Structure 1
């Protein structure tokens, strides 16, 4: 027996002993009835091997409930189950987990008020092919965050440099004049960065004037790159493509221990006292969401707090009936930031998605994003069969549907709605980016390479009610579902749009468009304070044409208390009623775009305004092109 074999045998023996000891000490033996498992705080130093061992035995000894004695439990990756996973809107990664809930049915995990502290590149809850899973009464956090924070302590206008003070919480080193933050099991460069206001504990006002940082410049020497030809379309955002023809531009030098000076910044110098937050390069900084739910029917999260994650708080894919009640994403330990990406995100889901009584604050992206996927026709195999490819590298591996799902064929230059429909007979995955779909009926005769497909069945009804969304980077809600959507009694204070209703076809390839949307009883407080010239509620499409994309919109009984003018930006809409809303000027910040109207309308029709109250500062309330006909704000 060689040395590696001996080591593997010893590890297996050790885990077996741990498992037998656990079962014996807790009194849970092997039987056919589902058991209720209780973990006590004596495993808290590293709970991973104990929890994992029991979960891996569930096939022969089923579990109906896992409870934790209230306490603080640490989870380390070293003894976790290793898996390679494709995760939508994240990097494709090899990660470790203590909760591989694959194929589980009717399982409840109750933390009873416990805190779970994770270390390094772990996905706390990896849920796949499951039914009726409930997680409740638990907080999820990381011992060391996947982002880093530093305080601006000086700036020099003559040399156009600024200094940052880095606390001991964020170990770092400087390599080749680049600042690298070192974590447990992970590191990141300066990468994406944004300013926070430590007084408001929110994204700084007008941060777009100061960030992001220009980390790269075009290389001085580049020969014959244009001679490299690709037979098939490529994604220029792929990590291996994005680095071509660019090199580091910014220079980082330590002035005194803990103080680093930053050179070659292109925008305005950040103000002294502000917190600059860094999370590394976009292509590498989404690798550890707190919850990954896929191919699951029935998921409930109740009284769950996510204080941090190296990605999203929850990413759900191809799942059905998801209810988050008191699912809160908030920072801990004095950090400015909670999750490093969206608080929640739903791709290709169906049934009901409900977010109620939630707080989403200080995350570095949206509160939620609900959409399907556009996939691109790569080739037409025969009358029934297509080769399709994923457009964005962070959607690799995503399967667009299942047998008999209804598929729409689109050419967005002509219409945002399908020109033909069909249904899936089978899907064969060739690689992470290319799949072959066979359909039940013949393909449209005029289908072309480059057209898009979307799954018309894989959209949920959406309810967002009694939620607080504030102090985060980016938007509040991104809504791209044609099913009934109700956004009710929420509070928004975001650095970009409170609500964005898009058709996103050219970058992320996120499909769907709102066609039955009610926005009612909400308060919008000082949204769009980062500096972008956009509406608080905005309808927009990537494809600049006059075609209708959105239908049947009601915006009623909301309060807009804004420092700036532009409240509503409407584009490509057929049928919108804006009624009983109150618009006031907060005076919180100076206006950034004082020439804007309160409402701007393009390429839209059947728009109505009734019984609204305007007390803002815009000299022009309503600005519309000829498509809307004669309109009057009232």
Structure 2
């Protein structure tokens, strides 16, 4: 599936202005857009006039949703596309401004839906920011614009005031480099220390507040402090149980949680989309969590010419779910539990889906099955009946992954920069292509993981091509965000690790690594690892941290090929490869890359 596979044979266009909706009025457009959507037939296009529209939650459609990796609850929806087919919403360049606790777009049991040509923003953001005036290891003084980011300090506790909401700190504080508009070097969450929401604030007068904590790093006066005070309740676009959804030329300035969230949806395309703040606004943050997140989807997920910057988590996370086996009720029936609280009530699949069972620690395969029926016991438990008896090895404590709901992923011509944490987190057994992108997040640019112990995010990769990308100054945040530009680190342990690998078929070729530190790739438990034809250049944006001794560190890997790589003469010396716990000797390794003094053009700026 790509964007040309979606059926573009639409019916007549309907202009919102013909039904009384005009821009730039500052009136609540929510009730009128609800009426207009009721008149739009399947196969038609709703076109807005250019300009600005405002949406409040009071008269919005209401529906309860469980949002994976975000918070469940009753959602008020501005554009409810429920059970719709062949609908296009064309904003014609409009700016949609949302007020308060409202979810802008929901595509639920829809198909062939296209959203294009508009910007999403909130009048009062769900995070706040201020300028750092002074700092010590136990405090930081901040000047906050009270008109843009209203707040109050009562009895040592700071509360932020929004449109219909008031909240204290939820995830603490975060420092941005004011000049570079990116996370401050090595700062991390809560200035690398401990910050409590209670008894931690003192109002100093003249819009100045002192925040107290036990910080691990000294904040820099003049930098920007982002204050995180709202949970992940309102993505900008949410897709569920849908098919063939295209987001085209959307700009998402802000969202309370993941900007774009999809679960149990088949074929999603993001074309020329952006999750980024408007620099003219002075804001240093975009979405409060990931730019995009896709859970138990299938078909193809396509990113093309997209930009993701300044979000407070990863650019994209694509994965399945490992469900915990809690009880075996016979040969064909299991009780499954939810492992992570952010996956509450996410179903294990539907009848006919193929699944695999894994050891919780080693992730070794224990058996397979096909679902006959699913019964939801409560928000945390499902009873799953299978068509045939299961292997006797499948017992309480192991994990189950749905193999049917796994997507192919293609990411081309995108740019990721200036965000907290990582770039692309990719865990799916189907084809993955990451090509011609510019990547410089504060952590690893690409992370391929998998676990059944904390996040319970599944997806052993089998066919990954990473080629023709430009990796810039990655991993300038804390080491917990990444030890290398590409981190392949499934959380596997136990004696079975030495017998089989979890990931396989990873090819990293013809990329430019413009790095200030040593580590390019860390890989664990991979069969068929290729690092070929890459160029390594010097980057002096930061001092080296030396998180890895060698450029490539491989642990418990099979069939390794490292050859024909080039290194510029001004790159600091370091071993090319470190092999630990190698599983066999079928390796082709050139320990000394070619020296190259020839200038080479970077990937063209997007």
Alignment-derived partner of residue 401 in structure 2: 454
Following the alignment from structure 2 to structure 1, what is the Cα–Cα distance between the partners of residues 433 and 462? 12
Equivalence for 1:176: 155
Partner residue, 2:602: none
In structure 2, C-alpha distance between the alignment counterparts of 1:362 and 1:584, rounded to whole Å: 25
Give the aligned partner of residue 390 of structure 2: 443
Partner of 1:96: 76
Q: Who is 1:6 aligned against?
A: none
Tell me which of 215, 221, 225 is aligned to 1:266: 215
Paired residue for 1:565?
518
- CA offset at residue 552 of structure 1? 0.8
- Normalising by the residue count of structure 1, what TM-score does the alignment of the two structures yield? 0.85
1:202 CA drift (Å): 1.0
1:607 lines up with 2:543 in the alignment: no
Deviation at 1:292, TM superposition (A): 0.5
Between 1:205-214 and 1:179-188, the stretch displaced more is 205-214
Q: What residue is the counterpart of 2:3 in the other structure?
A: none
**Which residue of the partner structure matches residue 243 of structure 2?**
297
Query: Which of residues 386, 390, 393 in structure 1 aligns to 2:341?
Result: 393
Q: Distance in 2 between matches of 1:433 and 1:275?
A: 40
Structure 1 segment 31-110 matched on structure 2, within 5 A: 36-40=13-17, 41-42=21-22, 44=25, 45-56=27-38, 62=42, 64-110=44-90
Uncovered stretches (5+) of structure 1, i.e. residues with no partner = 1-32, 217-247
Tell me: CA distance 1:121–1:350, structure 2 relative to 1, closer, same or farther (3 Å): same
Contact 1:385 1:437 in 2 (8 A): yes
Aligned residues: 563
Deviation at 1:445, TM superposition (A): 2.1
For residue 378 of structure 1, what is the aligned residue in structure 2?
326
Does structure 1 residue 163 correspond to structure 2 residue 110?
A: no
1:542 to 2:519 alignment = no
The aligned runs of 1:577-616 (5 Å cut-off) are: 577-593=530-546, 596-615=549-568, 616=571
1:374-415 Cα offsets, whole Å, 9 max, x none, are: 111122223222111111111112112111010111114354
Instruction: Give the Cα–Cα distance (whole angstroms) in 1 for the partners of residues 159 and 532 of structure 2.
Output: 52
Q: CA deviation at 1:174?
A: 1.3
Residues 506-552 of structure 1: CA deviation (Å, up to 9, x unaligned): 22211112110000000010000113160110110222343411111
Q: Aligned equivalents of 1:198 and 1:549: distance in 2?
A: 41
User: 1:387 and 1:107 mapped to 2: Cα distance?
Assistant: 39
Shift of 1:625: 1.5
CA contact (8 A) 2:42 2:86 kept: no
In the aligned structure 2, how far is the partner of 1:153 from the partner of 1:42? 44
Check the 8 A contact 1:298/1:320 in 2, yes or no: yes
Q: How does 1:348-427 map to 2 (within 5 A)?
A: 348-416=296-364, 418-427=365-374
CA distance in 2 between partners of 1:139 and 1:568 (Å): 37
Corresponding residue SS for 2:31:
helix
- The answer to which of 493-502 and 596-605 deviates more is 596-605
Residue 103 of structure 2 corresponds to residue 123 of structure 1: yes
CA distance in 1, matches of 2:352, 2:140: 58
Residue number in structure 2 paired with 1:227: none
State the alpha-carbon separation in 1 of the partners of residues 96 and 193 from structure 2: 34
CA shift for structure 1 position 466: 0.2
Give the aligned CA root-mean-square deviation in angstroms: 1.9
Task: State whether structure 2 residue 294 is matched by structure 1 residue 340.
Answer: no
**Offset of residue 563 of structure 1:** 1.0
Larger Rg: 1
The reply on whether 1:625 has 2:580 as its aligned counterpart is: yes
Q: Structure 2 CA distance, aligned partners of 1:210 and 1:187?
A: 21
Residue of structure 1 equivalent to 2:117: 137
Are residues 585 and 594 of structure 1, via their aligned partners in 2, closer, same or farther at CA, if it must alter by over 3 Å? Answer: farther
TM-score w.r.t. length of structure 2: 0.89
Cα distance in 1 between the residues matched to 2:194 and 2:523: 32
**Mapped contact 2:68–2:343 kept (Cα < 8 A):** yes
Moved over 3 A (4+): 33-36, 412-416, 628-632
Which residue of structure 2 aligns with residue 556 of structure 1? 509
